[in-house]
């Protein structure tokens, strides 16, 4: 598996998606600093005041992965990824001109996770926890999600079976 540092624009887009979800009056995106622990001491949230810290955390997690994957690489000389070694500078969020859709955001998360999962701490990392929280919010934005049934009930199955039997050819029962 190869890994590379995602672009700054990629990180900026993930941060933007988390800040704007699901709509301006909703509660901020929240996740745990450690993937497997959830309590008030480890809970983080994304908003305009924390966006630089969150972006920095995402960059550091990706750099840790690529550095671990390519142990012989030198952080000072550059790691695989974008030619701009933005990850050597302090992270500051920049506005994204084109806001990704929910589906595009899900793909951005998958790419980020693929690049950032190489280091041993990934499974319990804040980066992974953030990705799961953002994915959950994006899924809720997909068309039809809100209107979909919460539970698959037996009545739905019975109604559908009756409809299919009504239109099935005689003798096929």
Read off the pLDDT of residues 26-39 as tens digits, 9 standing for 90 and up.
678 989 887 766 66
The model's confidence at residue 11, banded by pLDDT at 50, 70 and 90, is very high
pLDDT over 70 at 24, yes or no: no
Mean pLDDT calculated for residue range 158-162: 83
Alpha helices in 40-167 (DSSP H): 51-69, 102-116, 126-141, 154-167
Could you tell me the two tokens for 164?
């299919």
Give the C-alpha distances (Å, rounded to integers) separating 102 from 45, 130, 137.
19, 16, 9
pLDDT tens, position by position, 97-127: 988 999 999 999 999 999 999 999 999 999 9
Do 99 and 20 form a contact (C-beta atoms < 8 A)?
yes
Mean pLDDT calculated for residue range 51-58: 97
Average pLDDT, the chain: 86
Per-residue confidence (pLDDT) for residue 8, from 0 to 100: 96
Q: Token pair 């550059």 is at which residue?
A: 78
What is the C-alpha to C-alpha distance for residues 63 and 23, in angstroms, rounded to an integer? 31
Q: Is the entire prediction scored with pTM above 0.95?
A: no
Tell me which of 94 and 78 has the higher pLDDT.
94
Q: Taken in order 121, 127, 133, 138, is the CA torsion positive or negative? A: negative
What is the C-alpha to C-alpha distance for residues 126 and 60, in angstroms, rounded to an integer? 10
- Tell me the percentage of the chain whose pLDDT exceeds 90: 49
130, burial (CB in 10 Å: exposed 0-12, middle 13-18, buried 19+): buried
Per-residue confidence (pLDDT) for residue 167, from 0 to 100: 76
């Amino acid at each position: 598996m190869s890994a590379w540092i995602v672009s700054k624009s990629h990180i900026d887009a993930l941060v933007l998606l988390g800040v704007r979800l699901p709509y301006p009056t909703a509660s901020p995106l929240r996740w745990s600093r450690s993937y497997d622990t959830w309590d008030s001491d480890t809970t983080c949230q994304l908003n305009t005041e924390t966006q630089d810290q969150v972006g920095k955390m995402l960059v550091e997690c990706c750099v840790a992965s690529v550095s671990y994957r390519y142990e012989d690489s030198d952080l000072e000389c550059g790691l695989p990824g974008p030619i701009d070694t933005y990850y050597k500078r302090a992270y500051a969020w920049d506005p994204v001109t084109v806001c990704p859709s929910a589906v595009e955001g899900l793909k951005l998360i998958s790419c980020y996770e693929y690049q950032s999962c190489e280091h041993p701490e990934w499974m319990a990392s804040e980066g992974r926890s953030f990705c799961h929280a953002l994915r959950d919010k994006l899924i809720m934005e997909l068309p039809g999600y809100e209107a979909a049934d919460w539970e698959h009930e037996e009545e739905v199955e019975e109604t559908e079976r009756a409809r299919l039997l009504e239109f099935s050819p005689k003798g096929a029962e």
